[in-house]
Structure 1
Amino acid sequence: MSRRASPPATGSVASTSPTGSVASARSAPPALSVLRRLGSTLRRDEDGVALVMVIGVGAVLALLTVAAVAIALGSARTARTDQDWNGALAAAYAGVEEYQSRLAADPSYGRYGNPAAPYSAPSATAISLPAGAAANPAFGVGLTGSWASVPGSGGTASFRYEVDVSEFDITGSMSLRSTGRVGTQTRTVIAELKVNSFLDYLYFTDYEVADPTGASAAVVHDCTRYAYAGRTDANHCGELSFIGSDVLNGPVHSNDTIRSCGATFKGPVTTAYSAPSGTPLYAPMDSNSHPCGASTFSPATGPTTVGAVVMPATNAALMLETRSDLTTPAGCLFTGPTQIVFNATGTVTVRSPWTRQTQVTGDPASGGSAPAACGVPGATGLGSRDGSTFAVPANNVMYVQDVPAVATDPNYWSPTAFPPVQEATGTGTVPLSCTGVDGHGSDNGIGYPTTNESASATDYGCRTGDAFVRGVLNGSVTVATSHLLYIVGNITLANTTRDMLGLVGNDAVLVWNPVDASGVSVMPDAERGSRSIHAAVLSVNHTFRVQNPSKGGARGSLTVVGAIAQKFRGTVWVRTPDGTVHGYTKDYSYDSRFATRTPPKFLLPVSTSYAVTLWIETRAAFAADGAAR
C-alpha cells in the first residue's frame, strides 16, 4: 500500500535549492534559520545608520565651512579696523609735521587758526582763519568742516588740527591738537611746540671776535665775516679763545669757528662751520693764534655742524609790545636813562625822569597814556630820586627808548628842555642836570657816572635809552633797551622755579665796572666782589662783556645762570702783560627751563623752526564724520 506526503505546515517557508528543487523550511536546521533572519535584519539596519552618518557628517562639514567663512570675514574686518586704527594715529602725526612745516616757512603762522575750534578757545581772540588762496583745510571743525588729506594717501587718510597760542608770548611755546582719520577710525594727539631760539644754548655767539665798533670801515667789514668765509688776521679782528679755567655747563653754539685752549664743555657744542672730512670743527689756539692743548668736550667727539642761527637787525619788535593799540595788556615804555630795581616782594622801583607816557599808540607814536601799572610819570614819581614803585608787569616787556626827536611823539622833549625832578622827598623840584659831579663831565641825570668815575661821553648819555638793572625779581618779565643795558648789581630770582628774566640790549649788555682815571676801581663797597646774574641775556648788535675789562683788578667770579647770546664775543677776564688779572672768571650754567620756556616775548632769530617738546595721545577730539566728541 502506498503512502501520501503530508502538506507543509502552516507558516513554513519554501526555499529553492541550488539544484532548483524546492525544500520546505522544515528541511533546514533551526539555528541556521535564526541566523538567516538576523543577518537580514542587520543588513536593513546598516543601511539606515549609514544614511544618518552621511547626513550628520555633511551637516558638521557645512557648519565648519560656515564658521570658517565667518572667521575669515571677521578676521578681515578686524585686520582692516586695526590697519585704520594705526593709520589714524599716523595721520594725526602727519598733521603735526605739516603744521611745523608751515611755521618753518612763515614764523608768524601762529597767528592763524580757527577761533571756533574748541581747543583754540583760550587764544580765540589772537587767531583768525587764513583766507583765499592761503585757506587751510586742516582748520576745519564740525560735521561740515574740512579735513586736509595726508600727501600720498590717495585721500584715504586725512587730518585736522586746532592750535592754542595763548601761552606763546609768555613761554615761547604753543600747543597743537591734531586728529587723524582713516576709514571710520580717528585718533588725536597733542603736541607742545617750542620755537627754536637763542635760548637753546647756554652760550651763543655770531662772530668769534671782539666787537669792532669804532674801528675803520675796512676792519669792520673784515671782522663781520666768519673765519671759514675768508676773515683774515691782518686787520687784527681780535679773535677770542676760551681758556683752561672756563667751564660751560650747557649747550654752546657759534655761527663762527670756535677757538679753545683747554676749556671744558659739559654740554653739546655746535657750529655753523662745515669743515672738510677729518678737519677739526674748532681751533685749538689762543687769542694770539698760538697753538695750545686740546679742550674737553661732552660728547667727547667734539663740536658738530648745524645750521646758522641768524641774529635780527634790531630789538624794535619788543618796543611794539608797549603799544596799547596792538597788544592787550601792553607792556611798559620808559624814555631816556632808566634805573630799574627789582624787589623780592614782587614790585619794581623805576626811576625814569624823561618819561611822559608809559604806553603809546600809532606808528610812529602819536598818542599815549600812563596807566598806573607802569608807574607814575612826573617829578614826584618816575622823575624823583626815589622813583615810582609798582607791581612787576606780569609776563610782559619793559622797554627803554631814547628821548624821541620827533615833536609829535608823546615822549618828546625839545633839545633845550629838561624834565623837573625831585631830589628828596618833601622838597621842591629842579630841572634835571646832565652835568657831572665835577661840574665839567657829562652825567645821565640818574647817578652815572658815579663819584670819581672816569667815563667817556658815550658811556652814559643823558638822552639815550640805557637801563641800569639790579635786584631780586619776583615775577616774569623782559627788560629791553634801544641802547645799552648795564647790570649794576646782582640780579637773582626770588623763586628759581617760577620766576624768569630776559635782558635784551639793542647794543651792548655790560657788567658795570667803574674805574677812575688811573684804572682803579671806584665800585661802591656794597657792589664789590663776585657778580651773580640769573637771566637770559641777549646783545643784538654788540656783545655781553665787563665794562673796562682790563682795569679795576680781579673781581671774583661772574656767575651766570641762564643763557648768553651776542653778536660778538665779549671780554670778562684779562691778564695784562705784567701778569695782573682784571675782571671775572666765568662760572656759566644753563637754566634748563629754557629748553621748554623763554622769558616773556623774548626776541627770536630771523629764521626759526619749532621743535616738539611733548607728545601725548588723548581721547579722539572728532568722530570720523567730523562731529566733536
Structure 2
Amino acid sequence: MKATRLVNARSAVHGDRGAASHGDRGAASHGDRGAAMILVMAWSMLLLLLALVVTRAAIGQILPSDRSERSYEALAAAEAGIDDYRARLLAQPSYFRESDPTNLSLTGWAQVPGGASAGEFTVAVDSSTAGSEGVIRLYSTGRSGNMTRTLEAVLSKRSTLDYVYMSDIETPSPMLPGAYSTAPIAGAVGGQPTSQGVASSLCSRYWYEQGAISPTVQGNQRNLNFCQWAGIYSNERIVGKLHTNDVWRLDNVNLSGALDAGAISSACRSAADGLLPGEVGCSENRRFISTAESGITSNNGANAVWPPASTPTYQGDAFRPASSGDATQRNPRYEPVLELPQSPALLKKRASSNGCVFTGPTRIRFSVETGVGYMYVTSPDTLVTATACGGTTLKSSTSAPATQVTKKIALNGFTDLVVYIQNVPRPGQADDADNDYDVNNRWTAGTEPTCKAKTTKIYPYLIPNDTVDRALFNSGSTYKGFPSEQADPASPWYANNCGSGDLYVQGPYKGNLTIATQSNIVLTSSVTDSTSTGTSGQPAASSTSALGLVSEKFTYAYRPTKADRTWVGDWKSANAVDPKYNFALLAVDECFAAQDPYYSPRQGNIYLWGSLAQKYRCVVGSTGGYYKQYAFDSRLMSLHPPYMLELSTEPWEVERYSELTPVTQGVGSTAWPLVTARDGVVTVQNAVVQSGAATVAVVGTTATVAATSAGQVVVSYEVVSASTVETRHLVVTVE
C-alpha cells in the first residue's frame, strides 16, 4: 500500500502534469507576483536605509572638513595680521609708539588683503618693553566664519646692543686728532690740501670695497699702506661678541686668551657666502688680515702723511691676505652688515617731549645719595629747558661768565629719561619741529658765556659750582673746570668747541637714562653703575640701572695736556687711571678714543662692562693711553637704555611664535583669575591694559576687566614670589 501510494503520487505528478499545469496556472501566477512584490519592497527599504546611513556618514565627513578649512583660514588670517603689522614697522621703525587711526585691525576687524580669503584679523600690541628689553609682543586673532585662532608673536631686532664691540669701518677716523697730518701738502694732491684730506677721500670705506686708492687712481681695495689700522692684541681681553662690517686686523699669535671662541664675526664675504661682481672678499678659512701679513706695511703713528713712507704707496689690486694658516685660533665667522643709525635725531625728539635738552658745553656729574640717583648739571648757555631739568635757572651772566650755576636733579623723577645736548643755536637758524628748545636758546656767536674770556682765556668753558667737582682738581688753579685752563689752546679736541654740544661726564649713576649729544662726549673719569665693584667695575646682576651714551661725533677719555704734551697741572692725573665704564655707547659719525694716545703716559686699562659701537675704529692706546679690558654686560640682553634700540634701522623680526587660547567675555566687566594653584603663595602687581578699550582692577590675584567695546584686550601684570618677579599677559577677546 505504501509503495502504491508512492507510485500514485508520482503518477499524479507526471501523469496528470497537463491538467495541473493548465488547470491551476492562473491561481499560481497571482500568488507568486504578490510574494515578489513583498520581496522587492523589503529590498527597497533595505537599500533606502543603507543610503541614509551612507549619506549621514558623508555629511559627517563634510562638516569636519568645513570646520577644518575655516580653522586653517582663521590661522592664516592671524598670520596675516602679524605680517601686516611687521610691514608697518618696516616702513616706520617707531610705528609701535604712534597712533594710527587708518589701521582698522587695532580697533576692530580688518579684512585679509588680496580679496582671496574671507578671513579677518584683529591685532593687539604690547610695546611696553620695546625700549627697555627690545621686545614687542603682538597678539593677532584671525577669524573665518565662527572660527577664531590667536597667535602671539615676540618681535626683536638686531642692534649694536648685541655686541660688546662693534665697528662699521676698521680704520681710524680721518678726523681723529693726531691720526693724519693737517700740515699743507706742497701743491696739494688731487685737490686735497692736507694728508687728513687725502685720508677722508681714501679711508672711509670697507677694505673689500672698490674706490679711490690715491687722490687720482681707483682700485679694488682700501689702501692698506696709507689708511691706518687698529688691531686686537694678545695683551687685551674682550669678553662677548664682536662684529665689524669691515675686516679685522689681528695680532699674529694665539688669541684664545684675548677673545672667546666663536665670538668674533665680520661682514667680509667669502665665495661660499656669495660675492658680488668685482668684490675682493675674504677667505672662509682666514677672514682677517694679520699683523704679519706680507705685501703691506703699517702707516700707524701720529700725524701720518701722504704719500706714506712705505714703497709702494698702494699694496696692489692683487693683494690678498694669506688664505691658510691661522695662528690666532680665532678666525671670524660671517655675519651680514649691521647698519649703524644715521643720527640721534630720534633721541632729540624724545628729550624735547619728555626729557631734558641742554644747550652748549654741559657738565653732568652723577651721584647717588641716600639711595637716590642725581645728576649735577652745569650748562651756562642753556637759556631755557623743561622745568624738571632746571627751567630758566641754568644760564650764566655774560658779564660774569666764570660764575656759573650747577643744578641738582633727581633721576627718580623721570621715566625712561632722555637727555640731549645741542650745539648753541644761532639767529636765523631754521626752527626744528622736533625740538621745543632751539629757537628759545639762540645766541649770537661769541656772546654765549662759554665763549667769553675768563681772565685771558676762554678755557674753561664750564666751571661747576660744585664742591665735589672742585675736589677733583689740584689746588692753585684759578678756575676749576672743563677743559682745563692749562690745556693746549690749539688742541683739536676742544679748541673750537666753545659753542658745541659737548658733554663732560663722570660719576656713579642710579636710574635709567640715555644721553645724546650733537657733538662730543668727554669721559672725564669713571662712569659706573652705582652697584659696580672690584677692579673691573662689574655692575651687580640685580641692578636695574642702565645708561646709554650716543655722540654724533667722538666719545673719548679725557687726558688733558699742555702745548708741550705734558699733563696739565690742575686736573689730577689719578682721575684718568684705570677708568671704569658701565654703559652702552654709540659714536654715530666718529669713534671711541683716548685723547692723544700717541703721547705718554700710559694710564692702565679701560675696564668696560657694557657695549661699544662706532663708525670708525679709533685708537685708545699707543705710546700713551690704555689697554683694553672689555666685557659684555649680559643685562643688556633684557635691559636696554631708554629708546636706544629704536635707533637701529634693522627690521623687527619674529623671534618666536606660539598659539594661545584667549579668554572670552562680552562688553562690560568680568573677573579673571591671574594665577593657578601651581604658583603657590604669590602676589600680583602692576596690572596694566597694554592694548584694547578696557580698564583693569586687581583685587588679590583676580583681575576685573571692564571692556567698553568689542575687540582684543591685553593686560600685562607681574607675579611676585619670594625670589622672582615674572611678567605675564592676560589676553581677552571681547565679543
* Unpaired stretches in structure 1, ≥5 consecutive residues: 1-13, 22-54, 112-125, 131-135, 360-369, 420-430, 577-581
Quick one: distance in 2 between partners of 1:374 and 1:245?
Answer: 49
Task: Give the corresponding residue for 1:513.
Answer: 559
Do the aligned partners of 1:222 and 1:235 also contact (CA within 8 Å) in 2? Answer: no
Instruction: Kindly state the Cα deviation for residue 398 of structure 1 after the two structures are TM-superposed.
Output: 0.9
Corresponding letter in the other structure for 2:332: G
Given candidates 334, 337, 348, the residue that maps to 2:375 is 348
Quick one: distance in 2 between partners of 1:60 and 1:374?
Answer: 96
Q: Is 1:146 the equivalent of 2:110?
A: yes
Quick one: distance in 2 between partners of 1:347 and 1:287?
Answer: 50
Corresponding letter in the other structure for 2:327: A
* Secondary structure at 1:560 match in 2: strand
Counterparts of residues 324-343 of structure 1 (less than 5 Å)? 327=353, 330-343=354-367
Quick one: distance in 2 between partners of 1:161 and 1:234?
Answer: 53
Instruction: Kindly state the Cα deviation for residue 394 of structure 1 after the two structures are TM-superposed.
Output: 2.5
Task: Give the corresponding residue for 1:400.
Answer: 421
Q: Is 1:221 the equivalent of 2:232?
A: no
Task: Give the corresponding residue for 1:237.
Answer: 227
Do the aligned partners of 1:350 and 1:375 also contact (CA within 8 Å) in 2? Answer: no
Task: Give the corresponding residue for 1:539.
Answer: 587
Counterparts of residues 272-311 of structure 1 (less than 5 Å)? 272-277=267-272, 279-280=283-284, 282-286=287-291, 289=296, 294-297=327-330, 302-311=332-341
Given candidates 556, 579, 583, the residue that maps to 2:604 is 556
Counterparts of residues 52-67 of structure 1 (less than 5 Å)? none
Instruction: Kindly state the Cα deviation for residue 129 of structure 1 after the two structures are TM-superposed.
Output: 2.1
Superposition CA RMSD, Å: 4.0
Corresponding letter in the other structure for 2:462: G
**Change over 3 Å in CA distance of 1:170–1:80 after alignment to 2:** same
Do the aligned partners of 1:407 and 1:413 also contact (CA within 8 Å) in 2? Answer: no
* Secondary structure at 2:86 match in 1: helix
Quick one: distance in 2 between partners of 1:146 and 1:483?
Answer: 46
Instruction: Kindly state the Cα deviation for residue 416 of structure 1 after the two structures are TM-superposed.
Output: 5.2
Given candidates 253, 262, 266, the residue that maps to 1:271 is 266
Task: Give the corresponding residue for 2:188.
Answer: none
Quick one: distance in 1 between partners of 2:498 and 2:329?
Answer: 46
Number of matched pairs: 522
Do the aligned partners of 2:560 and 2:595 also contact (CA within 8 Å) in 1? Answer: yes
Given candidates 59, 66, 89, the residue that maps to 1:103 is 89
1:154-207: per-residue Cα shift (whole Å, max 9, x none)? Answer: 315443323344554555543322112344321112323234332232222111
* Secondary structure at 2:271 match in 1: coil
Given candidates 72, 75, 86, the residue that maps to 1:89 is 75
Quick one: distance in 1 between partners of 2:265 and 2:69?
Answer: 41
**Change over 3 Å in CA distance of 1:96–1:593 after alignment to 2:** farther
Quick one: distance in 2 between partners of 1:196 and 1:233?
Answer: 31
Quick one: distance in 1 between partners of 2:133 and 2:125?
Answer: 15
* Secondary structure at 2:6 match in 1: coil
Q: Is 1:498 the equivalent of 2:544?
A: yes
Task: Give the corresponding residue for 1:41.
Answer: none
Counterparts of residues 310-325 of structure 1 (less than 5 Å)? 310-312=340-342, 314-323=343-352
Instruction: Kindly state the Cα deviation for residue 102 of structure 1 after the two structures are TM-superposed.
Output: 3.3
Task: Give the corresponding residue for 2:718.
Answer: none
1:429-452: per-residue Cα shift (whole Å, max 9, x none)? Answer: xx985448xx45743233123365
Do the aligned partners of 1:396 and 1:601 also contact (CA within 8 Å) in 2? Answer: no
1:578-617: per-residue Cα shift (whole Å, max 9, x none)? Answer: xxxx322222222334345532122755743002345443
Q: Is 1:192 the equivalent of 2:154?
A: yes
Corresponding letter in the other structure for 1:588: Y
Instruction: Kindly state the Cα deviation for residue 73 of structure 1 after the two structures are TM-superposed.
Output: 4.3
Counterparts of residues 600-611 of structure 1 (less than 5 Å)? 600-602=642-644, 604=646, 607-611=649-653
Task: Give the corresponding residue for 2:462.
Answer: 445
1:40-71: per-residue Cα shift (whole Å, max 9, x none)? Answer: xxxxxxxxxxxxxxx99999999898667656
**Change over 3 Å in CA distance of 1:266–1:435 after alignment to 2:** farther
**Change over 3 Å in CA distance of 1:372–1:245 after alignment to 2:** closer
Corresponding letter in the other structure for 2:521: L
Instruction: Kindly state the Cα deviation for residue 555 of structure 1 after the two structures are TM-superposed.
Output: 2.1
1:115-168: per-residue Cα shift (whole Å, max 9, x none)? Answer: xxxxxxxxxxx41223xxxxx564460xxx43224x6x9315443323344554
Name whichever of 540-549 and 525-534 sits farther off: 525-534
1:17-54: per-residue Cα shift (whole Å, max 9, x none)? Answer: 33559xxxxxxxxxxxxxxxxxxxxxxxxxxxxxxxxx
Task: Give the corresponding residue for 1:358.
Answer: 385
Q: Is 1:484 the equivalent of 2:479?
A: no
Name whichever of 451-460 and 249-258 sits farther off: 451-460
Given candidates 163, 176, 199, the residue that maps to 2:125 is 163
Do the aligned partners of 2:170 and 2:616 also contact (CA within 8 Å) in 1? Answer: yes
Counterparts of residues 612-623 of structure 1 (less than 5 Å)? 612-613=654-655, 615-620=657-662
* Secondary structure at 1:228 match in 2: coil
Do the aligned partners of 1:549 and 1:583 also contact (CA within 8 Å) in 2? Answer: yes
Task: Give the corresponding residue for 1:129.
Answer: 101
Instruction: Kindly state the Cα deviation for residue 265 of structure 1 after the two structures are TM-superposed.
Output: 4.1
Instruction: Kindly state the Cα deviation for residue 390 of structure 1 after the two structures are TM-superposed.
Output: 1.3
Quick one: distance in 2 between partners of 1:334 and 1:354?
Answer: 8
Instruction: Kindly state the Cα deviation for residue 267 of structure 1 after the two structures are TM-superposed.
Output: 5.3
Corresponding letter in the other structure for 1:499: S
Task: Give the corresponding residue for 1:49.
Answer: none
* Secondary structure at 1:570 match in 2: coil
**Change over 3 Å in CA distance of 1:598–1:64 after alignment to 2:** farther
Corresponding letter in the other structure for 2:248: I
Do the aligned partners of 1:270 and 1:306 also contact (CA within 8 Å) in 2? Answer: no
1:399-447: per-residue Cα shift (whole Å, max 9, x none)? Answer: 112222217832223345354xxxxxxxxxxx985448xx457432331
Instruction: Kindly state the Cα deviation for residue 86 of structure 1 after the two structures are TM-superposed.
Output: 5.2
1:227-264: per-residue Cα shift (whole Å, max 9, x none)? Answer: 11134336721022222234332222222122222352
* Secondary structure at 1:209 match in 2: coil
Given candidates 244, 247, 259, the residue that maps to 1:254 is 244
Task: Give the corresponding residue for 2:726.
Answer: none
* Secondary structure at 1:18 match in 2: helix
Quick one: distance in 1 between partners of 2:205 and 2:445?
Answer: 39
Do the aligned partners of 1:147 and 1:160 also contact (CA within 8 Å) in 2? Answer: no
Instruction: Kindly state the Cα deviation for residue 212 of structure 1 after the two structures are TM-superposed.
Output: 0.5
1:368-396: per-residue Cα shift (whole Å, max 9, x none)? Answer: xx44566832459x996671011224312
Q: TM-score, normalised by structure 2?
A: 0.62
**Change over 3 Å in CA distance of 1:239–1:343 after alignment to 2:** same
* Unpaired stretches in structure 2, ≥5 consecutive residues: 10-40, 176-181, 183-194, 211-220, 273-281, 298-321, 430-438, 464-480, 532-540, 666-709, 712-732
